[in-house]
Chain A
Amino acid sequence: QLQPQESGPGLVQPSETLSLTCTVSGGSISGTPHYWGWIRQPPGKGLEWIGTIFYTGTTHYNPSLKSRVTLSVDTSKNQFSLKLNSVTAADTAVYYCARLDYGDAMDYWGQGTLVTVSS
């Protein structure tokens, strides 16, 4: 069973960079037609797609976050990562990683990790 798993600091200082990693078990992130992505959910609010990456390094970002987001992939570790810079309290959210099935979207989700932006 494919299982993505998020990891990273749960607390980030305002204006700093949020960094998270998604480790995928039960399957390889490379050599398949699937993309991989990040989605976030502020406390008590809805879901927001952040960005998408292919194992070759091709990326696509939500235009509303594009200036602050960088996705990367490490196929040797079966991981992909998210960096969001210049964070504010508005970036406080549960961050999910997921496998993407083109237009059919997210078919496997991680359990999510809460990141709080606070001094």
Chain B
Amino acid sequence: DVVMTQSPLSLPVTLGQPASISCRSSQSLLHSDGNTYLNWFQQRPGQSPRRLIYKVSQRDSGVPDRFSGSGSGTDFTLKISRVEAEDVGVYYCMQGTLWPLYTFGQGTKLEIK
């Protein structure tokens, strides 16, 4: 079974400052079709999760360009260039390479200092 490990689990950030979340998988997420199915989700307080990033770095429609994803193999990063108040919430990485088995990370709680 693949294990997804996020760090940090809590991330206090000053408004306007950058933020970075790491996600590591216990095995490579490179699929035999050449794609790497690493997704990032945002869950604002009291809301359903929302996909932000798929295939490591592809932003979903409507996602601000201050969000970016990078990485390969087993190491991935979600970066927010300048944190805004609306970015408060919990961020999850999730692998889809082993589809139909999906695995989420533990979540990283982003809060404003």
Contacts and interface: CB of A to CB of B under 8 A. Distances in A.
Interface of A: 35, 39, 46-49, 52, 60, 62-63, 96, 101-107, 109-112
A104 B96 contact: yes
Given A103-B99, A105-B51, A106-B51, A47 B39 contact: no
A63 B48 CA distance: 24
Contacts of A109: 48-50
Centre residue among A62, A102, A104 by max chain B CB count within 10 A:
A104
A107 B99 CA distance: 15
A62 B55 CA distance: 22
Contact of A102 (B50, B51, B92, B99): B99
B60 A107 contact: yes
Contacts of B14: none
A105 B54 contact: yes
A48 B96 CA distance: 13
A105 B96 contact: yes
Q: Which of the four size classes fits the interface of chain B?
A: 20 to 34
A67 B65 CA distance: 43
> What is the interface of chain B mostly: helix, strand, loop, or mixed?
loop
B101 A105 contact: no
> What is the interface of chain A mostly: helix, strand, loop, or mixed?
mixed
A7 B96 CA distance: 27
A110 B48 contact: yes
A99 B5 CA distance: 25
Interface in B38-69: 39, 41, 43, 48-51, 54-55, 60
Given A46-B107, A47-B49, A60 B101 contact: yes
A103 B31 contact: yes
Contacts of B97: 103
Contacts of B99: 102-103
Contacts of B107: 46-47
B103 interface: yes
B49 A49 contact: no
B104 A102 contact: no
A48 B106 CA distance: 10
B59 to A, nearest CB: 12
